[in-house]
A and B are shown apart, each in its own frame.
Chain A
Amino acid sequence: RKEVEQDPGPFNVPEGATVAFNCTYSNSASQSFFWYRQDCRKEPKLLMSVYSSGNEDGRFTAQLNRASQYISLLIRDSKLSDSATYLCVVIPNDYKLSFGAGTTVTVRA
């Protein structure tokens, strides 16, 4: 079983729509969780951390469910600029980021 697995996507949504997708992780001892964004042929960049109680950053909402070992990302009022690949990241130990394969989101006009 992979350490981190994501919804395969792609998600193709119109501007203004809400889109949500999940990521599951296998290591129950994992303590830190993040969403990174990666634009085509660019490097990953941190989008937001995921806290136990859930958190929002503008139009983005992240949730953590430790019992079921998954995290989610919801994007409200989608913009064309939200088109990207969203990478789920779990830190199973002190030094290593474990990435999912990514969920591709395309927002169309």
Chain B
Amino acid sequence: ETGVTQSPTHLIKTRGQQVTLRCSSQSGHNTVSWYQQALGQGPQFIFQYYREEENGRGNFPPRFSGLQFPNYSSELNVNALELDDSALYLCASSSPGQGAYNEQFFGPGTRLTVL
């Protein structure tokens, strides 16, 4: 079974730039969630995509946006980068409808540094 993959693994940007992070979901999963994990903190929910539509959003500004493609892979886009955007960005895939809770499987993350 193919696990969740993310690219790139590391990225360095400067303030004001834009970035696109990518995620391929685990085989058979149609839902992708994105999380931001700052150093020393737990992951914070950004948003979730289900069947190519946003299915819920956390407390993140509109400059955080996303897409999901027909093959269920996903992108996270961040515009006008700020220093505080420096974090590990985690993607998790799951497949709703199989029970009360559908385990979210996390990818290895993309570590973004904003200078």
Contacts and interface: CB of A to CB of B under 8 A. Distances in A.
Contact of B56 (A4, A34, A46, A96): A96
B45 A96 contact: yes
Contacts, number: 49
B78 interface: no
Contacts of A49: 101
How many residues of A sit at the interface, in one of the four size bands?
A: 20 to 34
Interface in B72-115: 90, 92, 100-101, 103-104, 106-109
Interface in A63-86: none
A87 B92 CA distance: 15
How many residues of B sit at the interface, in one of the four size bands?
A: 20 to 34
Interface of B: 33, 35, 40-45, 48, 50, 55-56, 58, 90, 92, 100-101, 103-104, 106-109
